[in-house]
């Protein structure tokens, strides 16, 4: 055991710390942040080095610009009669590789299959089989052949079922941080094969996407000043008294972690695979499906996506056209006169003001982001 203060004093860089004590930059940042929050209270932390390397099994990596090869392989696994967990990074109907679209696609292809979709919408719907399932996963999941999950199962749950799932599959489109992908794949504790498709680069970034701490912090200062200016313009009050340097240690830690995430997003696939190797997986390049199989997958997914999105649009349109939702327009029509500004409700006026402010904020952020990145 080694006191944190001792090895901080005896090391001059993160690289030296990594070589001598096996600590990564993330854990070092966490320790410094906790010590800064302690304030004047003296804390004597220590380090326990864990050299244990688990064997997590095989992880098959599917190449390509989309996960068609992975879905084709999953089809074969389902035909063989196994049980599978499919992890997705999206859920909306308009997402071609999201939970809803893939659920519809597999229901069409395998009508006999018992499928459970777990995402933020299904777990909150009292009429859905997934309602309230998070607290009883180990009892519920054994009732299904295919479980399709969004990042709702990313953290905070442990699937300790033994002998049920034959494999865990993952489609990661660059939305989640690298560590979140690794955690999601580890929800099933049993050592079974993992099959993954990962986008080459990430689509989500922290702040303005800068890979330096200074760039991220500058972007937040500019955004804060823009927000204060918009608030002042909205109600003619002076908000210059707002402390923009509140809890600097929190902002510094956010900048450090954010810059790491942004670097990983630029090499998303490479970063995820490297992390899985650290977790004890043996990464194996999977074979591609033949052209006929992959083409059929694309067509079936596209058909399911189009149908789901069209159904969702019909539902939204029917809700919008309900007379009860448009009292002002209906009253104007019955009175046979044109709508005047004073007919618009205060709620709609507030909505218009909020929309204008939002557009101005987006414009200011784009100007700020372009200036920093260029």
Predicted confidence at residue 19, as pLDDT, reads: 39
Instruction: Give a yes or no: residue 256 inside a domain.
Output: no
Comparing 133 with 224, the larger pLDDT belongs to 133
| CA 230 to each of CA 165, 207, 360: distance values in angstroms, whole numbers, following the listed order | 53, 19, 8
Looking at the predicted structure, is the pLDDT value of residue 62 above 90?
yes
Q: What is the mean pLDDT of residues 63-87?
A: 95
Instruction: Give a yes or no: residue 323 inside a domain.
Output: no
Name the phi and psi angles at 138, rounded to 5. -65, -25
Predicted confidence at residue 34, as pLDDT, reads: 83
CATH classification at residue 192? 3.40.50.300
Residue 138: pLDDT band by 50, 70, 90 thresholds?
A: very high
Give one DSSP letter per residue of 272-303, joined into a string.
Answer: HHHHHHHTTEEEEEPPPPPHHHHHHHHHHHHH
Question: Which residues lie below 8 Å from residue 142, measured CB to CB, with a gap of 6+?
Answer: 161, 164
Pick from 187-196, 304-313, 333-342 the range whose average pLDDT is largest: 187-196
Looking at the predicted structure, is the pLDDT value of residue 37 above 60?
yes
* Cα 359 from chain centroid (whole Å): 25
- Asked if 158 and 299 sit in the same domain, the reply is yes
- Asked if 168 and 130 sit in the same domain, the reply is yes
- Asked if 68 and 97 sit in the same domain, the reply is yes
Q: Note the pLDDT tens digit of each residue in 147-170.
A: 999 998 888 899 999 999 999 999
Q: What is the mean pLDDT of residues 327-337?
A: 48
Predicted confidence at residue 320, as pLDDT, reads: 72
pTM equals 0.73
- Asked if 29 and 109 sit in the same domain, the reply is no
- Asked if 22 and 121 sit in the same domain, the reply is no
Instruction: Give a yes or no: residue 368 inside a domain.
Output: no
- Asked if 133 and 9 sit in the same domain, the reply is no
- Domain count within the chain: 2
- Asked if 91 and 181 sit in the same domain, the reply is yes
For the chain, percent of residues with pLDDT exceeding 90:
45
- Asked if 29 and 178 sit in the same domain, the reply is no
Number of other CB atoms surrounding residue 325 within 10 Å: 10
Q: End of a domain among 281, 312, 343? A: 312
**In three state form, how does the secondary structure of 124-138 look?**
CCCCCCCCCCHHHHH
Instruction: Give a yes or no: residue 223 inside a domain.
Output: no
Residue 73: pLDDT band by 50, 70, 90 thresholds?
A: very high
- Asked if 148 and 288 sit in the same domain, the reply is yes
Q: What is the mean pLDDT of residues 269-287?
A: 95
Q: Which domain holds residue 126?
A: 57-201+267-312
Looking at the predicted structure, is the pLDDT value of residue 121 above 70?
yes
Question: Which residues lie below 8 Å from residue 95, measured CB to CB, with a gap of 6+?
Answer: 101, 305
Predicted confidence at residue 250, as pLDDT, reads: 84
Instruction: Give a yes or no: residue 345 inside a domain.
Output: no
Interatomic CA distance for residues 372 and 369, integer angstroms: 5
- Asked if 62 and 29 sit in the same domain, the reply is no
Q: What is the mean pLDDT of residues 281-298?
A: 93
Question: Which residues lie below 8 Å from residue 363, measured CB to CB, with a gap of 6+?
Answer: none
- Asked if 126 and 33 sit in the same domain, the reply is no
- Asked if 92 and 24 sit in the same domain, the reply is no
Instruction: Give a yes or no: residue 167 inside a domain.
Output: yes
Instruction: Give a yes or no: residue 154 inside a domain.
Output: yes
Instruction: Give a yes or no: residue 141 inside a domain.
Output: yes
Predicted confidence at residue 8, as pLDDT, reads: 38
Residue 35: pLDDT band by 50, 70, 90 thresholds?
A: confident
């Amino acid at each position: 055991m080694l006191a944190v203060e001792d090895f901080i004093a005896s090391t001059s860089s993160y690289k030296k710390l990594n070589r001598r004590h096996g600590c990564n930059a993330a854990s070092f940042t966490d320790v410094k942040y906790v010590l800064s929050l302690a304030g004047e209270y003296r804390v004597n932390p220590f380090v326990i080095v864990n050299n244990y390397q688990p064997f997590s099994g095989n992880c098959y990596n599917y190449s390509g610009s989309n996960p068609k090869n992975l879905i084709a392989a999953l089809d074969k696994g389902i035909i063989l009669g196994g049980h599978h967990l499919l992890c997705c990074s999206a859920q909306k109907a308009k997402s071609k590789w999201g939970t809803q679209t893939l659920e519809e696609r597999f229901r069409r292809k395998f009508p006999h299959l018992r499928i459970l979709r777990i995402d933020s919408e299904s777990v909150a719907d009292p009429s859905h089989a997934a309602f309230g399932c998070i607290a009883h996963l180990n009892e519920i999941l054994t009732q299904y052949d295919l479980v399709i999950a969004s990042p709702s199962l990313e953290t905070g749950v442990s699937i300790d079922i033994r002998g049920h799932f034959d494999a865990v599959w993952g489609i990661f489109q660059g939305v989640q941080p690298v560590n979140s992908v690794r955690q999601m794949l580890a929800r099933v504790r049993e050592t079974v094969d993992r099959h993954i498709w990962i986008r080459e680069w990430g689509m989500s970034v922290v702040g303005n996407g800068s890979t330096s701490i200074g760039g991220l912090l500058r972007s937040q200062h500019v955004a804060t000043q823009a927000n204060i200016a918009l608030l002042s313009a909205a109600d003619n009050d002076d908000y210059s008294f707002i402390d923009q340097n509140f809890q600097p240690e929190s902002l510094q830690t956010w900048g450090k972690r954010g810059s790491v995430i942004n670097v990983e997003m630029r090499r998303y696939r490479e970063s995820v695979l490297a992390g899985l190797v650290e977790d004890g997986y043996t990464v194996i390049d999977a074979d591609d499906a033949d052209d006929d199989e992959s083409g059929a997958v694309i067509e079936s997914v596209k058909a399911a996506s189009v149908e789901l999105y069209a159904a969702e649009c019909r539902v939204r349109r029917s809700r919008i056209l309900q007379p009860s939702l448009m009292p002002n327009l209906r009253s104007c029509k019955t009175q046979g006169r044109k709508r005047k500004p004073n007919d618009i409700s205060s709620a709609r006026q507030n909505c218009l003001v909020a929309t204008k402010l939002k557009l101005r904020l987006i414009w200011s952020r784009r100007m700020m982001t372009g200036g920093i990145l260029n």
